[in-house]
Amino acid sequence: MQAERALGSSPATLGAMTEAHWPEVQAIYQAGIDTGHATFESSPPKSWGSWQQHHINELSLVALDGNTVIGWASLTPSSGRCVYAGVAEVSVYVAPHAKGRGVGRQLLAALIERSEAKNIWTLQAGIFPENVPSVALHVALGFERVGLRRRLGKMSYGPLAGQWRDVLSLERRSTRAGID
């Protein structure tokens, strides 16, 4: 995939995530994990190979500032069942020093566009309600709140270890993909 810039004042150049990006992607993921408001995961995958086993790799993106990765976005299949082939879960992470620059919006918008081109008709997101910027980003790009899963899981690490967490469920149904 060719790198591209968004129209207007672009915060980053987007490109396909590759193994060369993995150390920076892993560090950004860990920074998100460290906040306690990004995921139930306690650490990123240990290797690029582990990452690839669970993601739709052809759609994984990085945002670059020069040669430095400042964010990433990816999709994971929601199920291995063929009837759900067009449903995927979204992840978007931005490096702490790049927050507030529109990088997350740029990544998520590009991920939506690419997912529809690959006939993915529903994108899902599970977000801790306390992660207000992430909820606002998803809603701004067409995701709807579809429910709140109360006490879905207990944190196993960090400052919130031992606490039950709610997860807000959001989804975005494509108006282009999967409509036939």
| Nearest residue to 91 (alpha-carbon basis) of 78, 108, 106 | 108
Domain count, the chain: 1
pLDDT band at 2, cuts 50/70/90?
very low
The answer to whether residue 178 sits within a structural domain is: no
- pLDDT digits over 43-102, tens only? 999 999 999 999 988 999 999 999 999 999 999 999 888 888 899 999 999 999 999 999
The answer to whether residue 167 sits within a structural domain is: yes
Q: Which of 50-54, 81-85, 117-121, 142-146 has the highest mean pLDDT?
A: 142-146
The answer to whether residue 83 sits within a structural domain is: yes
Residue 68 vs residue 9, higher pLDDT: 68
The answer to whether residue 94 sits within a structural domain is: yes
pLDDT band at 10, cuts 50/70/90?
low
Q: What is the mean predicted confidence (pLDDT) over 23-31?
A: 97
The answer to whether residue 179 sits within a structural domain is: no
Domain that holds residue 39: 4-173
Q: How far is CA 176 from CA 36, 87, 113, 139, 162, in A?
A: 35, 14, 10, 18, 42
CATH number of the domain encompassing residue 105: 3.40.630.30
Q: Please give the pLDDT value at position 125.
A: 97
Q: What letter would DSSP give residue 9?
A: S
The answer to whether residue 180 sits within a structural domain is: no
